[in-house]
Amino acid sequence: MDPSRLRILADILVRNIDADDRLPVSCLSEDTINQLSTQTSLQDIVTAIQNSENPDPAKIHGIVVWAEGLLRNPHGILQASTTGNAAGIIQDWAVTALAPPKIFAPKSHFDSNRASSPKAIETSRWKLMAVAGLRLLSHLRFRVLTLYEDSVVDMAASLGSFTDSRDPWTRPEAFETANALLVDLLRRDQLADPKFLSKLLASLLQDRVKPSFAQTRSSAITEQGRKANYRLPSAVDVGDSEVDRKPWKFRDIHILTVFRWILGILDETTVQEHWPLVIPPLLAILDDEAVDNKIRGCELLVALLNIIPSSLLQHTGLGEVFQDALMPCLSYLPSLTLEDQSIRLLDTVYPTLFLLLRVRYPGPESTAEKITVLDRIVRVGILNGFGYAGEHVKIATVLMKRIPDLVNEMGILSAKHLKVSIFAVLIIQSIK
């Protein structure tokens, strides 16, 4: 099909994106659909890719229209893919092209060269391309190509970028397709090699996640992922901008989602195998000043705490490290923090702290240590929070909702706080 024809058809599709940015299926005429079904081939897209000086037009025009043609005639397309190496070129290109661009990244306040916010049509075009690319991979379904080790890592990293439906670059269809492809990929290769999953996770953590966090490793831990006995200030190159120091936040924005997906498939055994590669990025996210990243860090920590034994926190000393990272979040209150951000963070950090304490202090022999921390949460979090809440009624409501949780955790020992009038009223209400 003529490349100019591809561009025209793709523009029609982009203009008809629906409210969910889904690939439209009814905006093309029957004649056009018939033409796509009979004339669109893998080689058309390969030609568009290879002949384009700028790859973006090929991404937007070629892959979108090819995927639409694929919907209409998947059998013919798959037959065509068996000839030559067109399918291999398409798959390799799609995997690379699916990395979310920087237009979705937050802007650093310290970056004087930051670009203006992208136009809606730019983000819609890219999301449409992503859905089309994932649809392409779904129809190839790894039946055409034999994926080598490096290709599997590339594929998993690209698909893992679409496993969080909250990301601005991930639409419902992209989320569903990527997760289905990952299940298929892991099942197939795990059957061929029982150690496949462990090797894949090691490659993703070592080669994809670690480099993005190389300059933001916490000084509270050692390279082995244990508590540092002597906490030294982190070395910072004053010549490095925030954008350069935190590529995971401003450039490789999909890495956070890939890391979240990795944590979601780790178990008690594999997490200990890869412990030194898991802890540094987790702490870097928790320690970041952005509220959204602190919330995401809490979610990641919960995922970790749900799969590790209490003994691992004791042996590594990380219970205290995690606690030190979470406690400052209790002071993210108005007016220094926007009210809606404060509410979201407080609603996340309190349950995370309680879970951490249950994992860190599982038995009655450690009750005294646990109560000491809970007393601090009452003083620093609840009482201090009420003192600063002022006219922010919603903040006070969030704090009140945590009183029953504290009473449940502390039991009768919560009575020591009865001397504080407001806390006394709330405790009595919780007991009733």
pLDDT attached to residue 299: 97
Task: Count CB-CB contacts under 10 A for residue 65.
Answer: 28
Q: Tell me the mean pLDDT per 10 residues along the chain, length 432.
A: 60 59 56 61 62 48 58 51 59 78 76 60 76 78 54 89 93 90 82 81 95 89 88 55 87 94 93 95 95 96 95 93 96 92 96 96 87 92 84 89 88 74 52 48
- Checking 306-311 for CB contacts under 8 A at 24+ apart, the result is 306/355, 307/266, 307/267, 307/268, 307/271, 308/268, 308/271, 308/272, 308/359, 309/268, 310/359, 310/360, 310/361, 310/362
Half-sphere exposure of 27 (CA within 13 A, CB side): 16
pTM for the whole structure: 0.84
Report CA torsion sign: 390, 395, 397, 403: negative
- Token pair of 423 as six digits: 């806390």
Q: What is residue 63's DSSP assignment?
A: I
pLDDT attached to residue 2: 58
pLDDT attached to residue 421: 47
Q: How far is CA 221 from the centre of its chain?
A: 23
pLDDT attached to residue 121: 67
pLDDT attached to residue 424: 47
